[in-house]
Amino acid sequence: MTEYQPRPVFDTDIAGQAGFGDLPEWDLGDLYASPDAPELKRDLDWLEQACLSFAEDFEGKLSSLGHAELLECVLRYEKIDVIAGRIMSFAGLRYYQNTTDGERAQFLGNCQETITNFTTPLVFFTLELNRIEDDRLDLLMNENADLYRYKPIFDKLRAMKPYQLSDELEKFLHDQSTVGASAWNRLFDETMAGLEFEVKGETCNLETTLNFLTEQDRSIREAASRELARVFGANIKLFARVHNTLAKEKEIEDRWRGMPSPQTGRHLSNQVEPEVVEALRDAVVAAYPKLSHRYYDLKRKWLGLSTLEVWDRNAPLPMEDTRIVDWQQARDTVMSAYSGFSPKMAEIAEPFFTRGWIDAGVKPGKAPGAFAHPTVAEVHPYVMLNYLGKPRDVMTLAHELGHGVHQVLAAGQGELLSATPLTLAETASVFGEMLTFRKLLDDATDQAQRKVLLAGKVEDMINTVVRQIAFYDFECKLHDARRKGELTPEDINALWMSVQGESLGPAFSFMEGYETFWSYIPHFVHSPFYVYAYAFGDGLVNALYAVYEEGDAGFQEKYFDMLRAGGSKHHKELLAPFGLDASDPKFWDKGLSMISGFIDQLEAMEG
């Protein structure tokens, strides 16, 4: 249910938040007033009966339904999805506000178990739907326009048809899910939230410690890096156990389903062809020398170093302004950029700030990173940040608010069709970042400011493209190696290091202990192979933004139409109005050339 940032969201000392202005907190009342709200009990009671009656009315009968009856079946299934999603959104969002609170963790666990039990009778729906002959399903849809609307859902479900297990096995997998991956996910989250690091004589959480990697003082950056390595190293056996178990569980299920590769399930859920992902991956890896290698060599010179250490990767430039950006200023910057693109975009974004749809402050036990969660189509999204006034935090706000705008627009599709495949889910977020960056660049008053902004954008793009593809390669290697047997922490460390030098380049030296830094990346635990979606989204947006800059007529309305589509259209259909095609291998070169062009500008400033 989470949507994490591709890069860490850095904090400073929590006590310093007072200088940021009035940071908003979530008002979850639009979901439920409290865990003991009568509306929540009402919905749980309704859900139990709705699932039982759904199975009673439709199980064993799907293949014999007429078009009107099948439509009724789909609509009832969608309503069940709404109520279950509403309950789990409330439980999950409360939990992420404080993952170390025992009551919140228990409430989330109880909700997961209850809803898993209630929804077990629904497992037949997908299985039986996939047994309907193609010709018959086509006939039914062609006879009913309202039913035909759900064709993208049928297509997505039927893509899994070759990998479907027996009814009994599918029900078993559904029932045991609460003690499978989701249990290991919770263990990871709670462990990460509870880690303590000693830096500058202070006891800090993960977010605060990662923030020290952006300090001007190099000795502080080094101390934080070594402390991260110490704590990760002390817990590495647990993290290795989490990864071993999850990778093995996935391997077993993939094997039983007959999945040809560990990545197949992700590609199917993303509705993207494996060859498109491989073309993206290959284009990025081939571009490492002209992107990350070239940029980090520039940065090495700017910092006056012969070699960069890992604690220099996100270091500010020597001429960088270290001022804190307060919340109001961050809000004004992003909203001005959004409004400059279209007043409609700013109008959609406004309620996030005024109605309690953002939780911005850093608090003890709060989940790290940032995400936007769409909840359900009939409510609205919620955005989580860990805001501590860095310029990077302003870009994170722009990113997550972009997700929020996308989710608001897509909600018009209804619950089943609003969810966007991950490959397209990053479109509005990265586009929102680009708008904000361009606004800041246009407002820059001197060359030094422009240099800092360009360098910051290049670093973000490298983190979003190069780093995520390196992460993807690491995951591919991890899952492949796990198929051959249990992996020791040292085995996983070696796989991690095998992609680091290649992606970051010869400017770097790697301290002892950096080999454990795979352990805190949440994507590997929560969503295997998620990470390529960030690179996909960045490349796609770079190509889109180039069309926008060329003055494409009606771009804004075409852009909003794309966001409104949610999960109702394939990426080919969505990009066609802009004259773009992600299945063309050269498509990715267009996106990567924008990053390369920014580095060209930075090199020219050296002359």
pLDDT tens for 495-518 read 999 999 999 999 999 999 999 999
Q: Is the pLDDT of residue 181 over 50?
A: yes
d(CA 42, CA 83): 10
Provide φ and ψ at 252, rounded to 5°.
-65, -50
CATH 2.40.40.20 fits 31-159, yes or no: no
Q: Which two tokens stand for residue 533?
A: 């979606």
Higher pLDDT, 237 or 527: 237
- Which pLDDT does position 582 carry in this prediction? 86
Q: Is the pLDDT of residue 21 over 80?
A: no
- Which pLDDT does position 165 carry in this prediction? 83
pLDDT band for 607, please (50, 70, 90 cuts). Answer: low
Q: Which long-range CB contacts under 8 A does 190-195 form with residues at least 24 apart?
A: 190/99, 190/100, 190/105, 191/235, 191/238, 191/239, 192/368, 192/520, 192/522, 193/99, 193/100, 193/365, 193/366, 193/367, 193/368, 194/100, 194/365, 195/231, 195/235
Q: Which two tokens stand for residue 183?
A: 């249990």
- Which pLDDT does position 10 carry in this prediction? 26
Q: Which of 305-314, 329-338, 572-581 has the lowest mean pLDDT?
A: 572-581
d(CA 406, CA 67): 32
pLDDT band for 179, please (50, 70, 90 cuts). Answer: confident
- Which pLDDT does position 19 carry in this prediction? 63
pLDDT band for 357, please (50, 70, 90 cuts). Answer: very high
Domain ranges of the chain: 31-159
Q: pTM, whole model, 2 decimals? A: 0.82
How much of the chain exceeds pLDDT 90, in percent? Answer: 72
d(CA 400, CA 381): 10
Residues 6+ apart with CB under 8 A from 250: 262, 479, 528
d(CA 187, CA 606): 48
- Which pLDDT does position 2 carry in this prediction? 33
- Which pLDDT does position 546 carry in this prediction? 87
Mean pLDDT computed over every residue of the chain: 91
Higher pLDDT, 323 or 453: 453
| Residue closest to 385 by CA, chosen among 357, 405, 406, 413 | 357
Of 7-16, 220-229, 365-374, 418-427, where does the model show the most confidence? Answer: 220-229
Q: Are strands 358-359 and 202-204 parallel, antiparallel or unpaired?
A: unpaired
- Which pLDDT does position 6 carry in this prediction? 31
- Which pLDDT does position 589 carry in this prediction? 87
Q: Is the pLDDT of residue 4 over 60?
A: no
pLDDT band for 454, please (50, 70, 90 cuts). Answer: very high
d(CA 276, CA 262): 16
- Which pLDDT does position 320 carry in this prediction? 77
Q: Is the pLDDT of residue 377 over 80?
A: yes
Q: Are strands 197-199 and 202-204 parallel, antiparallel or unpaired?
A: antiparallel
> What do you get for the CA distance between the two ends of the chain, in Å?
48
Average pLDDT on 48-70 reads: 96
Average pLDDT on 289-317 reads: 95
